[in-house]
């Protein structure tokens, strides 16, 4: 069976969609990009200033399918999007046309046109990939330290600082005390 896959929504190169194509087990996949110079909708097909985008999506989709050993044929057409898709399905004798589901009037019109020509239009609900959660290990580490620290009250910081300050100043002053003691004893002539 030949499967026609028109590149319309700019989401067709998604690995999820590639898996949907493979699940149909077609003998060949015709990848179709239609450049419509009269196109007004930004969500359905490509305008003439989007040729590079159309090609890059189609090439990426073709690359992914070829990696899965799928036979593909990329096709680039110029003209009215809906009519070119219907004509291409008839020309290539595609039994099915696979579309990413959406509620655009153009998509609904396309499905109606395909059904009138006895071509099976399949819609696939597009699933956005789950965002990869990047953990910020520095923040996680700080949060763990905060959990371990005792709860502080208004009184605690002052006491802690006072004790720490006292310990530090005592250690710093110890050599000075010894020096003063020696100099005092020397003054008295005892040392």
Nearest-CA neighbor of 65 among 91, 92, 120, 27? 27
| Architecture in CATH for domain 2-124 | 3-Layer(aba) Sandwich (3.40)
**% of residues, the chain, pLDDT over 70:** 65
Q: What is the mean pLDDT of residues 44-70?
A: 88
Q: What is the pLDDT of residues 117-149, one digit of tens each?
A: 999 999 888 666 555 555 566 666 666 665 665
Name the residue with higher pLDDT: 51 or 130: 51
Among 85-94, 143-152, 155-164, which is the least confidently predicted range? 155-164
pLDDT of residue 179: 73
pLDDT surpassing 60 at residue 31: yes
Residue 154: CB atoms within 10 Å: 6
Query: What residues form DSSP beta bridges with 158?
Result: none
- Please give the span between the terminal C-alpha atoms of the chain, in angstroms, as a whole number: 110
Nearest-CA neighbor of 77 among 128, 130, 36? 36
The domains of the chain are located at 2-124, 144-188
Instruction: Please tell me the distance from the alpha carbon of residue 87 to that of residue 94, in angstroms, as a whole number.
Output: 10
CA 164 to chain centre: 50
pLDDT of residue 142: 62
pLDDT level of residue 156 (50, 70, 90 thresholds): low
pLDDT of residue 139: 60
Reported as type and span, the H/E element at residue 83 is helix 81-91
Instruction: Please tell me the distance from the alpha carbon of residue 75 to that of residue 28, in angstroms, as a whole number.
Output: 13
Among 123-127, 138-142, 158-162, 167-171, which is the least confidently predicted range? 158-162
Among 53-67, 86-100, 126-140, 176-190, which is the least confidently predicted range? 126-140
Instruction: Please tell me the distance from the alpha carbon of residue 100 to that of residue 21, in angstroms, as a whole number.
Output: 11
Reported as type and span, the H/E element at residue 15 is helix 15-23
Instruction: Please tell me the distance from the alpha carbon of residue 63 to that of residue 7, in angstroms, as a whole number.
Output: 14
């Amino acid at each position: 069976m030949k499967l026609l896959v028109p590149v319309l929504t700019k989401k067709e190169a998604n690995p999820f969609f590639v898996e949907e194509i493979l699940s149909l087990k077609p003998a060949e996949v015709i990848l179709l990009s239609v450049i419509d110079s009269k196109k007004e909708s930004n969500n359905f097909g490509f305008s003439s200033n989007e040729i590079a985008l159309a090609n890059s999506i189609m090439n990426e989709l073709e690359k992914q399918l070829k990696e899965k050993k799928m036979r593909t044929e990329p096709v680039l057409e110029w003209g009215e999007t809906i009519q070119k898709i219907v004509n291409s399905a008839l020309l290539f004798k595609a039994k099915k046309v696979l579309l990413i589901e959406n509620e655009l009037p153009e998509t609904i019109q396309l499905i109606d046109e395909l059904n009138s020509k006895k071509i099976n239009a399949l819609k696939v609900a597009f699933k956005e990939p789950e965002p990869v959660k990047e953990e910020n290990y520095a923040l996680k580490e700080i949060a763990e330290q905060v959990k371990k620290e005792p709860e502080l009250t208004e009184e605690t910081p002052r006491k802690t600082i006072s004790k720490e300050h006292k310990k530090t100043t005592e250690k710093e002053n110890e050599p000075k005390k010894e020096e003063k003691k020696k100099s005092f004893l020397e003054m008295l002539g005892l040392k």
